[in-house]
Chain A
């Protein structure tokens, strides 16, 4: 996932060595999240057995792990896909958030504030409520139409927000765009609520999806989200230099022989695709898309060549660890993942913000 570090003309303010350090830190964070996520859960499993059982996943390896058949199933069929999905969704949301912030030159842009998540949510609700998809099984078969509908809704939302935000003329101030996003978000959420009210029979299905579906994650969900994640990551990471130039200004970008408008459209579509994929498998999870990129900006400097890959790594680690809390803190019961991300994300962000202010003043 990490991009090749080639020397390009950029606005990096911090030396490349430091960035390599942070990248290594991100890889470590992902590994820590992966190991902790597999070692811990609502059912205690012996660490040694877990390690051996994971080795057994490698084709050709067949060691005696000491785990019962049921314990092995809990590890490889429930826990592993859930951790992987957490890493994927967290990375996607953080990457999409960073891309939006760069494209709109707006530190507050994020999949939720722009209305993208609400748009995806409306799309999914429409599919479930109007039964455009197959009957949904929360643990096996997500209706096939869901990711497509989420993507359509996401694009509709971001287009609306952009049009409304630009209504004030060429100069798009951050506040105007966010206000437009909030308005679009409210409008689409109202549409979603109306759909749910009209189709009470499917209300619970939609509702359980809304609360976040990591609780029911399986390999099926991972396979659904993986292609979207790869496409999004490839497009956005390939555009990291353009993002840096876009933050400087469109004229500057044109002067460098780039196509600012083309890049902008491409990035918006890619980020919306990533958001839609994340939303369609995991429901609405807030805070990741805004907190993670900002934290990376404060830690590693303003260049998107650092922010994008770091957001993928730390965003994934953050969500996987938040999910670990969600499934262990309540003992045998679950805590909604969105509650955990907000609960820990917001105070953490405030601390980082204050520290960075203290160090720059």
Chain B
């Protein structure tokens, strides 16, 4: 459940992502010979002199990436929220309240973080531990870039590039296979039961945009002042009458199509009337790494079933 707790936090993350995303220079591709990476490698302002063999990941997204590109054997510890893959070495390290001492005790040669919380980066810098900040990305291109960077750092650039190619091809095919519609479907994406949502300006919004869908939350944050994560008023939500509802709070907050349909005043919403409420896996929906393909597929399956 590596999730943003509040819109504010999400907004900060996004700002960070924007800031870091722009600042991160393309990885200097080291000359490779038959797939074996040559060190030193540099990504942004981080230079590794040798291949990291004791990686600590405090980001559940990064953990999924590392294992997907074959760097799994180099990972010694991951945080308590890194629930996937099952064989990742989960510890009680926290990504929410990172503890420099506990991290240092693992004697890592590379630490990967999603957020610089509590000045953790400068603390690790003081301990001379190499840190790579892999914040939440703003769109798929950001995800591909991050996968490439993690590939370069861990000596798995070839696998990372292959993963990116495969993901892009899979996603394109899934999107193409969904029949086109005359009128675009509108959707409401629920982050939590108090009606926090995402606008089209977010990573999630960009995925839905691929299907040509319109987002009912866009009106609540037209200028992006809320970082793309507004809390909708229930009245406006009922009035906006989405054709489809997607729940990203099925695990955290036990929301189901049944609980949503039972909400007072919701019976008039088209999505409720036509049984178009779809529970997504919270984790897949909030970790924008290799399993984003599964998210796209889940959305595509739901969209394909809506009668034209």
Contacts and interface: CB of A to CB of B under 8 A. Distances in A.
Interface of A: 41-43, 69-71, 73-74, 76-79, 81, 135-141, 197, 200-205, 207-208, 211, 213, 215-216, 218-220, 327, 330-334
Contacts of B80: 200
Contacts, number: 127
Contacts of B249: 204
Nearest to B3: A204
B259 A140 contact: yes
A212 to B, nearest CB: 9
A340 to B, nearest CB: 14
Interface of B: 1, 3, 5-6, 80-81, 96-97, 192-195, 219-221, 226, 230-236, 238-239, 241, 249, 251-255, 259, 262-269
Chain A facing B: main interface SS: helix
Contact of B231 (A137, A204, A333): A333
A73 B221 CA distance: 25
Contacts of B255: 137
B233 A332 contact: yes
A251 B226 CA distance: 59
7 contacts: A43-B236, A78-B234, A79-B235, A135-B254, A140-B263, A140-B264, A334-B231
Which of B220, B234, B239 has the most CB atoms of chain A within a 10 A radius of its CB? B234
Given A78-B238, A136-B254, A333 B264 contact: no
A331 B239 CA distance: 13
Given A78-B235, A213-B194, A140 B262 contact: yes
B194 to A, nearest CB: 4
- Nearest 10 A-B pairs (CB), nearest first? A77-B265, A138-B193, A218-B264, A332-B220, A135-B254, A42-B233, A139-B263, A70-B268, A332-B236, A208-B194
A70 to B, nearest CB: 4
A41 B266 CA distance: 17
B194 A215 contact: yes
A218 B238 contact: no
Given A138-B194, A213-B194, 14 more contacts: A70-B239, A76-B265, A135-B254, A138-B192, A197-B97, A200-B81, A200-B96, A205-B252, A218-B263, A219-B264, A220-B264, A333-B221, A333-B233, A334-B195
Contact of B230 (A77, A135, A218, A332): A332
Contacts of B241: 70
Contacts of A43: 233, 235-236, 238-239
A341 B185 CA distance: 39
Given A70-B241, A203-B5, A219-B264, A137 B259 contact: yes
Given A215-B194, A333-B221, A73 B265 contact: yes
A205 B196 CA distance: 12
A333 B232 contact: yes
Contacts of A202: 252
A201 B220 CA distance: 28
B202 to A, nearest CB: 15
